[in-house]
Amino acid sequence: RDEDAPATTTLPLLSGTKNAEAVGTSVSGHNPNPNIHEGETEGMLRKQSRANSTTSVKSRQSIKAEDAVRPLYKEDILYQGDTRDLPEFQSQPDIPTYIQETTKIPETTKKSPMKAFWDVFLSMTNINVLNDKKMIIICLANVCSMIGYYTPYLFIVKVATEERSIPKSSAVFLLSIIGFSNTFVRFTSGWITKIPYMSPLLVNNIGLTVAGIATLLVPFCGTHGLLIAYCIIWGGFIAFHVSLSPVIVCQLVGLERYSSALGLTLMFRGITSLTAPPVMGAIRDVTASFNIPFMIGGTSFITSALMHFCLMWINRQEEVNARKKTNENTTETNPATINV
């Protein structure tokens, strides 16, 4: 009953009336972030669709107090970017309303000792998101990038010692150089995306392209110094792809489907990470050369970059179509006055 419900159960609960009022007050009561383009209109439309969702609006009788505070029921719990940049945040008048709107608690139908586990598991493996062509491209692009991702870690030291005659005591530091470069760029990747005319998707594409070209040039790195340069370049630029992928997924599919999209993306990555290294090792054994695995790895990075560029084009077309539709609706609602 409502009077017996603890205070925590009201956090994720919004009525349809309050939802509608939040849409009307979001523009005047909240200052949008100037870095979000078309975020206000998109956020309001998404907000209206969420108001009708049976998973976003729950009755108090069907929600337990312990479920209301579970962190994994929040749609943005796995989001690694700045939540203030999300259209869902921009469309809300205040933070409590945003928290209520982005917390989804499945209604209880029957008692289960592992209810929370199955709720999160089914949410993160919902294959219905693959109906979106952008999600299919995201998964394929991540498969391509993971094909060559472990090649430098597996073979760069052996390339240095067996084919470049570099002492092993010096060659082992190549992996450390990759690690230092990768760590530094991961810390700075968020700041770089804030540069004007830059976006997470564009920075990711630049990183994959440079990493792919550098990997293709490994067979021509004949000295220790060139291998060190490769490790610095590859470790730094591939960090953009790894650190910005969650942000890109959220921007392309939306926060409401983010958990499912990220879960499927990581699943495809994991499967590729398990199968690609043994295949690369077998290719090396068959060809008796490290050049072929690096050539395959570089090609896979560039292929992934091209797929991400396709995502940029698709996203741009959708934004243009959305603006046209908004302008048409505005024209129909407020017809121009013709002076006779």
pLDDT of residue 114: 67
Distance CA(248)–CA(254), nearest Å, equals: 10
Which residue do the tokens 């998404």 mark? 46
Q: Pick from 124, 157, 175: which residue ends a domain?
A: 124
Specify whether 155 is located in the same domain as 287: yes
Specify whether 151 is located in the same domain as 20: no
Q: Provide CB contacts within 8 A for 251, sequence distance 6+.
A: 200, 201, 315
For the record, the structure tokens of 7 come out as 């205070």
Domain interval for residue 55: 2-124
Distance CA(47)–CA(56), nearest Å, equals: 11
CB atoms within 10 A of CB 286: 9
Specify whether 86 is located in the same domain as 207: no
The answer to whether position 337 is within a domain reads no
Specify whether 171 is located in the same domain as 88: no
The answer to whether position 334 is within a domain reads no
58: left (phi over 0), alpha (psi -120 to 50) or beta: beta
pLDDT of residue 12: 44
For residues 61 and 13, the answer to whether their CB atoms sit within 8 Å is no
pLDDT of residue 334: 67
Specify whether 213 is located in the same domain as 271: yes
Return phi, psi of residue 152, to 5°: -60, -40
Specify whether 117 is located in the same domain as 164: no
The answer to whether position 339 is within a domain reads no
CATH no. for residue 174? 1.20.1250.20
Return phi, psi of residue 186, to 5°: -60, -40
DSSP state of 86: S
Specify whether 164 is located in the same domain as 179: yes
The answer to whether position 333 is within a domain reads no
- Domain total of the chain: 2
Distances (CA, A) of 91 to 36, 68, 197: 11, 23, 23
Distance CA(12)–CA(238), nearest Å, equals: 38
Specify whether 7 is located in the same domain as 46: yes
The answer to whether position 335 is within a domain reads no
For residues 139 and 268, the answer to whether their CB atoms sit within 8 Å is yes
Specify whether 95 is located in the same domain as 241: no
Cα-based angle 229, 234, 240 (whole degrees, multiple of 5): 140
Q: Pick from 78, 101, 124: which residue ends a domain?
A: 124
Burial class (CB within 10 angstroms; exposed 0-12, middle 13-18, buried 19+) of 30: buried
Half-sphere exposure of 182 (CA within 13 A, CB side): 19
pLDDT of residue 84: 63
For the record, the structure tokens of 307 come out as 């797929």
Radius of gyration over every alpha carbon of the chain, rounded to an integer in angstroms: 24
Specify whether 8 is located in the same domain as 33: yes
Given a cut of 50, the residues of the chain with pLDDT beneath it are 1-62, 337-340
pLDDT of residue 131: 87
Specify whether 31 is located in the same domain as 108: yes
Q: Pick from 100, 124, 148: which residue ends a domain?
A: 124
Of 237, 256, 216, 202, nearest to 57 (Cα)?
256
The answer to whether position 274 is within a domain reads yes
pLDDT of residue 37: 44
175-192 pLDDT, tens digit each? 999 999 999 999 999 899
The answer to whether position 338 is within a domain reads no
Distance CA(203)–CA(200), nearest Å, equals: 5
pLDDT of residue 338: 43
Cα-based angle 26, 45, 140 (whole degrees, multiple of 5): 125
The answer to whether position 117 is within a domain reads yes
For the record, the structure tokens of 275 come out as 């199968």
Specify whether 96 is located in the same domain as 224: no
pTM, two decimals, is 0.67
Look at the alpha carbons of 160, 161, 164, 169 in this order and tell me if their dihedral is positive or negative.
positive
The DSSP string of 151-214 is: HHHHHHHHIIIIIS---HHHHTHHHHHHHHHHHHHHHHHHHHTTSTT--HHHHHHHHHHHHHHH
For residues 229 and 93, the answer to whether their CB atoms sit within 8 Å is no
